[in-house]
A and B are shown apart, each in its own frame.
Chain A
Amino acid sequence: MNDAATDTHCPYCALQCGMGLRRTDGPVPVAVVERPGFPVNRGALCGKGTNAAAVLAPGTRLTTPLVRTGGELRPASWDEALDRIAGAVTATAAAHGRDAVGVFGGGGLTNEKAYLLGKFARVVLGTSAIDYNGRFCMSSAAAGGIRAFGLDRGLPFPVEDIPRAGCVILVGGNPAETMPPFVRYLRELQENGGKLIVVDPRRTRTAELADLHLAPRPGTDLALALGMLHLVVAEGRTDEAFVAERTSGWAQTRAAAMAHWPEHVESVTGVPLPHLREAVRMFCDAQTGMVLTARGPEQQAKGTDTVSAWINLCLATGNAGRPYAGYGCLTGQGNGQGGREHGQKADQLPGYRKLDDPAARAHVAAVWGVDPDSLPGPGRSAYELLDSLGTDVRALLLAGSNPVVSAPRSAHVAERLRSLDFLAVSDVVLSETAALADVVLPVTQWAEETGTMTNLEGRVILRRKAVEAPAGVRSDLEVLHALAGRLGHGEGFPTEPEKAFDELRRASAGGPADYAGISYERIEAEQGVFWPCPSADHPGTPRLFLDRFATPDGRARFTAVHHRPAGEEPDEEYPVRLTTGRVLAQYQSGAQTRRVAELNAAAPGAFVELHPRLAERLGVRDGEQVAVVSRRGRTVTPARLTTAIRPDTVFMPFHWPGAANANVHTNPALDPVSRMPEFKACAVRLERCEGGG
C-alpha cells in the first residue's frame, strides 16, 4: 500500500487545497504529495500544507486523557475522563440549570462534528449556551450576505471565475501570506488584463501585487466604500437597469452615500481622493467587477455595515447575480463555511436554518426524533458566552478552539475560563486553553479520521483517513457518542462519519444550505459538490443568484449604512492604532503550526511592526523589545521597522500566547448584528522597555 496516496485536503485554511498522503516508513507516518487533479489548487501548496504531516509525528500530540487532581493534570483512563465530564455536566445542570452548561466549538471541525456538537448541545444537554470561534471569523460577512442576498455562502462562484472578472477589489485580506495558492487566481486575472485593487492599511505581499493599493486607516473601510459609491453616483456610473430590475432599497442607500462626499472620505480614511477616483474608474471601466472582503473590514464593531457598504457598491454597479461578477468573502478557517451552517452557532439549526423559526425547529426535531418544544432557543454569541463563564455558565465543553490565545481581550477570557467550575477540552495537543482544563481528551486529527469540509466556495469536500491514530486517541464523534450514552442518549450519535453525514443531509434538506443530494461517493467522483444540492440528481450550484437572489422577492437588498468611528479611537493616552493579522508560516492560535519545526524556523515569534518615523519619535530601534500597552493589557515583543505600514498604525500577528499575545489588546466591542468583536482596530501606546534592545 506504500504507493497509493490517499486523496485528502490540507488541515489549514478555507481554500482546502487538495493533497495526497502517501504512507512512509519514517517516524512521520505519511508524506504530503501533489494532487494535481483537484481544481482549486491544481497541485500547488504553501509551506504550511507541504509541512502538514509533521503534526502527525509521535511525541507532538496527546495520546492519553488528562484529568486534573490536586491542581495537576495527570494521565487517566478514558472511562475516568468521560465519567468525570458526565458527572460535572449532570451536577452543574442540577445545581444551576441546563443553560449553565456551555459548549464552544470551532470553525476547523468537520461538518459531521459541527453538526453533532450542535445536536449534542440541543438534545443531550438541552442548553442554549453554544457558540463557536467562527463568530470571530465569518459572522459579519455572513450577516451582510444574508441581509443583501438572503443567503450566505462565502463565494457565490468558484475561485476559477476570479481571473475572468475585469476588476477585483480585495478588501482587508492578505492571501499571499494567509492563502498562498489562491494568489495564482489574482495573477491570472492580471495576465488576462483584469485589474486588482487591494485595500489594506499595510503594503502587504498581496498589496504589492496590486494595480492600485489603497491604505486607509484601520476601521475606516466603511467610509472608503461609501466614498466610492458616492463617486459612482456622481459620475453617472450607476447601472440603473440592474438597480431597477434586480434590487430594492436604492434610494436610502444612495442618500447615505451622498452624505459621504469624497473630500470628507479622504479626511476620514487618509486615502487621497485622486486614488479613490482611480479605484472607481478601474472598477467601473471593467466589464465585470468583484469585491472580496476578508477579516480586515469584517472584524470590526461595524463589520456587518462595512460588508453591506461593499455589497452596495457591487449592486449599484450591476456586479452581482451575473457571471464573473459579485461580492464574496475569503473565509478563514478550514471549515469556516461548513462550520457556520450546521448548528454550532448560537442561533442556528442544521442547513443554515434559524433556531427561532418554528418550521425549522419542526423539521430538525423530526430528524432528531424529539419534540420541537424541547429545543432550547437562541443563546449568547461567542464573546458574550466566554464573558459569562464562571457566572452564568459554570461548566464548559470546548472543542477545536484555543480562545486563551485567539479571543479578544484574551487575558480576561483566560480569567473567565479559570473561574469555571469545570472545563473539558478536546484537542490534539495541550493548547494554552487545554492547559487550564479539568479534563483534556486527546482526539483524532486530520489524516487520522474521515470527514467533510466546505471550502470558501461552498464546495463540500472529503478528507479521507490516511493513517491510524495512535493508541489511546479517540475521534470527536466517539467522544460525543460516549458522553451522550452516559447522559442517557444511547442512540443518535453515530461514530461513523458517513452515517453522521447522512443524518446531516436529512437535517439540512430544504434549508438554505441544502446538502441532501451530496454523498461521499459524489464528492469523490466530482471533485467536491457545491451546495445547495437538494437531490441526488441535482448537479450542485457552483454559481448562485444568476436568475434570482435568495430573498422573498428575488431582489438583492441594499442596506443604507453610515460610517461611524471605531469602538475605541486613539486619544492622548493611547494615540496609536493597533491592527492584527497573520504571518505566512503560522496559522491561527498556532496550536498546530508552532509545533512544526520548519514553520517555527520561518516565523519564530511575535513582533510589533511599525513605521520608522513612529519608531524614531519613540526612540525605538529595529529588533529592540517594545511594550505595547492598551486599556486591556500589555505585551512585550521585538520591534520590526517597515515603511510598509501607515505611520499612525502598528501591526501585531496573533499566533503567540503569553506576553506576546496580540489578543490581550483587542477590543471586545461587538457588532450589533453579527456580534463580531473588533479585532482589527484598537488604541494602544508604545513604550521602550528598560534595558531592551
Chain B
Amino acid sequence: MTATDSTAEPRIVVIGGGMAGHRLAQQLTAHGARRVTLLAEEEHTPYNRVLLAEVLAGRYARDIAALAALPAQVECRRARAVRIDREHRVVQCDDGAAVGYDRLVLATGSNPVLPPLRGLFDDALTGRERHELPAGVFAFRTMADCELIDRHLPGVRQAVVVGGGLLGVSAARALAARGVQVVLAHQGEHLMERHLDEEAAGLLRAHLAELGVEVHTECRVRSALTEDRRITGVELADGFRLDAELLVIATGVRPRTGLAAAAGLEVRRGIVVDDRLRTSDPAVHAVGDCAEHRGTVYGLAGPALAQADHLARLLCGQDAPYRGSRLLTRLTLAGPDSAPLDLAAFGETSPAGPGDRVVRLADASRGTYRKVIVRRDELGGERLIGGVLLGDLGTVGDLAGTWEGDEALSAHPLHLLTTQSTTPGGPSR
C-alpha cells in the first residue's frame, strides 16, 4: 500500500485509537465517509477513559467501560505510526506498512508527566530498563495502568497518590473505595487549584477525609523509597517518611506531539490547529488532547469529543467550524455508603480586580458551596468569568448554558446559584 489511489472518495487516516480517534472514525462513517483507516497502538479494545476511576474503584466492570465497536467499514490496524511523509502523504508504521492518505488526522493524545522524584528511575540501569518504574509505582492514565494497579492491589494497605488535581483526587477516591488507606500528597496550597478556590477545596478535602483519604497540601514528595526496585514508601521534602506499598503518580499530562514535530508541523504546547482543526499542513488535522486550539490544550474528554464531531462534519463537506469549548469541569465522588459529592467548576477561581463581583452561597451544615464571579465589560454589561458549584448542582444546566453562551447577563447572577422560582427542572417535591 503506497500513496493514494485515484478513487474519488478521499482516504482519511486517523492516528490514535483513544476516545477522540474512535469517536472521529465513528462519526465519519455516520456522515457517509467510506474510506477511513484507524491506526491504533493500544492493546486494549477502545474504552471510555472518563470511567477509569470508576473501574479502579470497582464500581464498573472493566468490560463495560469499553466503547462500542466501530462500524465494519472502518479499517482498523493495530500499528504504531512512526513517521509521516507529508510530501508523499504516507504514514510509516512500525510493522513496516506504509499507509497513504488524502487527509490525515492526529489523535495521538497525551502522556503522563512524571515528576523528578529521586528513586523513580535507577541511574545504574541502562537502555529500556532505565525507564522502567519500580514495582508498585504507576501512572494513572490508561486502562493498562488501571489493570496494573488492580493487579498490584492485593496486600496493599497504604497507598500514596502524588498530585491533587482532578485525576489525583479521582484516583485517591477510587483506591479508598477499595479499602486502601490513602494519602494524597499535593504540592499546591489547596486541592485542584486550577478549578477551585480555597473554601471549595476545603469542603472537597473534608469530603475526601470522610471517604478515607488523608490529604496533605503544600506537601512535596522528594523521593520514592524502594527495596529491590519495589516501592516501600515516600520521603517528603521535610524529611518525613510515609510507608506505602503503592505509589500512584497523577501530576499532569503532556500532549503527544513527537510525530507531528518530526514531520515539521507547528507545535507549541500541543499541535497547533485552526478553527477547521487543520495543522500548519492543510491535509493534516489534529483533535483531542494532542491539539492546541486558540492557545488552549484542553486535555479533557468533552472537548475532545466535540472536536471529533466538528472534524467529522468538516471532512464530510459540512461547514462546521470549531470555535472552542466552554465546558464545565465535573467531578463526582461516590462513596460506598455516602451520597455522591458533585462538583462543577469553570473559568477563574477568584476575582482579579475591583471590576469583578463575587456572589456566593455557602451552607456549611449541608456542605454546599456555590459561587460565581462576574466581570463588568466596557459597555457596562456583566459576564460570567468563573464559578463553582459543590454539593448542590440544581442550577448546573443554567450555569453551563450561560458560560457556554458567554452572553451579557440580563439579571442578577443570583439566579445562577439558586433554583427557587425561576429555573424549571429539578425535583418539585
Asked whether B393 lies within 8 Å of A274 as measured between CB atoms, the reply is yes
Task: Enumerate chain A residues within 8 angstroms of B30, measured Cβ to Cβ.
Answer: 564
In the complex, B69 has a CB within 8 A of chain A: yes
Answer yes or no: A255 CB below 8 A from chain B CBs.
yes
Say whether B332 contacts A263, CB under 8 Å: yes
Q: A252-B68, A258-B64, A617-B408 are in contact. Are A270 and B424 (CB under 8 A)?
A: no
Of residues 380 to 429 in B, which have CB atoms within 8 Å of A's CB atoms? 393-398, 400-401, 405, 407-408, 410-411, 415, 421-429
Comparing A204-212, A326-334, A404-412, the segment that makes contact with chain B is: A204-212
**How far, in angstroms, from A593 to B332 measured CA to CA in the complex?**
51
Q: How far is the CA of A273 from the CA of B328 in the complex (A)?
A: 13
Are A647 and B398 also in contact (CB < 8 A) when A255-B67, A259-B48, A274-B342 are? yes
Residues of B within 8 A of A271 (CB): 397, 425
Asked if B428 and A647 make an inter-chain contact with CB atoms under 8 angstroms apart, the answer reads no
A261 & B48 in contact (Cβ 8 Å cutoff): yes
Q: Find chain A residues with CB under 8 A from B396 CB.
A: 266, 272-273
Nearest-CB distance from A569 to chain B (Å)? 10
**What residues of chain A lie closer than 8 Å to B411, measured between beta carbons?**
612-613, 616
Shortest Cβ distance from B322 into chain A, in angstroms?
A: 13
Q: Mark A194-207, 1 if CB is under 8 A from B, else 0.
A: 00000001110001
Q: Does A445 contact B (CB under 8 A)?
A: no
Which of B64, B342, B400 makes the CB contact (< 8 A) with A267?
B400
| Any A CB within 8 A of the CB of B267 | no
Q: Which residues of B contact A98 (CB under 8 A)?
A: none
- A278 interface residue, CB < 8 Å from B? yes
Chain A 562-579 interface residues, beta-carbon cutoff 8 Å to B: 562, 564-565, 575
Minimum Cβ distance to chain B for residue A619 (Å): 10
Considering the complex, which residues of chain B in the window 52-93 have a beta carbon less than 8 Å from any beta carbon of chain A? 54, 59-60, 64-69
Q: Report B-chain residues with C-beta under 8 Å of the C-beta of A269.
A: 397
A269 to B424, CA, bound (A): 13
Inter-chain CA distance A613–B407, complex, in Å, is 12
Answer whether residue A256 sits at the interface, using C-beta atoms and an 8 A cutoff: yes
Q: Assess A272 versus B332: contact at CB under 8 Å? Given A255-B69, A256-B68, A575-B405.
A: no
- Determine the residue in chain A with the shortest Cβ distance to B45: A255
The reply to whether B425 and A255 form a contact with Cβ atoms under 8 Å apart is no
Residue of B nearest to A256 (CB): B68
Question: A644 is contacted by which of B54, B302, B305, B424 (Cβ under 8 Å)?
Answer: B424
Given A202-B424, A213-B424, are A254 and B410 also a contact pair (CB < 8 Å)? no
Smallest CB–CB gap between A656 and chain B, Å?
25
For chain A, the bracket of interface size reads: 35 or more
Q: Roughly how many angstroms separate A565 CA and B340 CA in the complex, as a whole number?
A: 30
Q: For residue A249, give the distance in angstroms from its CB to the closest CB of chain B.
A: 12
Q: Give chain A interface residues in 624-651, CB to chain B under 8 Å.
A: 643-648
A195 to chain B, nearest CB (A): 10
Contacts of B415 in A (CB 8 A): 613
Assess the A258–B66 pair: CB atoms within 8 A.
yes
Q: Which of B23-61 contact A (CB under 8 A)?
A: 26, 30, 48, 50-51, 54, 59-60
Q: Tell me which of B330, B421, B424 has the highest count of chain A C-beta atoms within 10 A of its own C-beta.
A: B424
When distances are taken between beta carbons in the complex, the residues of chain B under 8 Å from A423 are none
**Structural contact, A263 and B68, CB atoms closer than 8 A:** no
Distance (Å) between the CB of B367 and the closest chain A CB?
A: 14
Kindly state whether residue A214 has any CB partner on chain B within 8 Å: yes
Report the minimal beta-carbon distance from A608 to chain B, rounded to whole angstroms.
17
Indicate with 1 or 0, residue by residue over A353-367, a CB within 8 angstroms of chain B CB atoms: 000000000000000
Min Cβ gap A476→B in Å is 43
Q: How far is the CB of B96 from chain A (nearest CB, A)?
A: 32
Q: Is B301 part of the contact surface with A, judged by Cβ < 8 Å? A: yes
B51 partner, pick from A261, A614, A648, beta carbons under 8 A: A261
Among A211, A255, A273, A613, find the residue whose CB has the most chain B CB atoms closer than 10 A: A255
Chain B 282-320 against A: per-residue CB contact (8 Å), 1 yes, 0 no?
000000000000000000011001000100000000000
Are the C-beta atoms of B302 and A272 separated by less than 8 Å? no
Q: Mark A63-89, 1 if CB is under 8 A from B, else 0.
A: 000000000000000000000000000
Beyond A273-B332, A273-B342, whether A560 also contacts B48 by CB under 8 A is no
A471 CB to nearest chain B CB (Å): 53
Kindly state the separation between the CA atoms of A211 and B426 in the bound complex, as whole angstroms: 10
Assess whether A255 is in contact with B393, with CB atoms less than 8 Å apart. no
A441 to chain B, nearest CB (A): 45
A-contact 0/1 string along B315-351, CB 8 Å cutoff: 0000000000001101010000000101000000000
* Cβ contact within 8 Å between B397 and A270: yes
Query: How many Å from the CB of A173 to the closest CB on chain B?
Result: 16
Tell me which of A258, A264, A273, A564 contacts B301 (CB under 8 A).
Answer: A264
Given the known inter-chain contacts A213-B428, A264-B50, please indicate yes or no for A648 contacting B405, CB distance below 8 A: yes
Bound complex: CA A272 to CA B305 (Å): 20
* A645 to B405 alpha-carbon distance, docked (Å): 17
Residue of B nearest to A209 (CB): B428
Contacts of B395 in A (CB 8 A): 272
Tell me the smallest distance from the CB of A61 to a CB of chain B, in Å.
41
Partner of A266, one of B59, B65, B66, B330: B330
Inter-chain CA distance A264–B301, complex, in Å, is 9
Interface membership of A215, Cβ < 8 A: yes
Of chain A, the residue at the smallest CB distance from B391 is A274
21 A-B contact pairs sorted by A residue (CB < 8 Å) = A201-B424, A202-B424, A203-B425, A211-B428, A211-B429, A212-B429, A252-B69, A254-B64, A255-B69, A259-B68, A262-B332, A264-B301, A267-B302, A272-B397, A273-B330, A273-B332, A274-B393, A613-B411, A644-B424, A648-B401, A648-B405
Tell me the A residues contacting B by CB distance below 8 Å.
201-203, 207-208, 210-215, 233-234, 252, 254-256, 258-259, 261-264, 266-267, 269-275, 277-278, 560, 562, 564-565, 575, 612-614, 616-617, 643-648
Nearest 4 pairs of A and B residues by beta carbon: A270-B397, A215-B425, A263-B330, A255-B68
Apart from A213-B424, A271-B425, A617-B408, 4 more pairs, CB < 8 Å: A258-B48, A267-B327, A560-B68, A564-B30
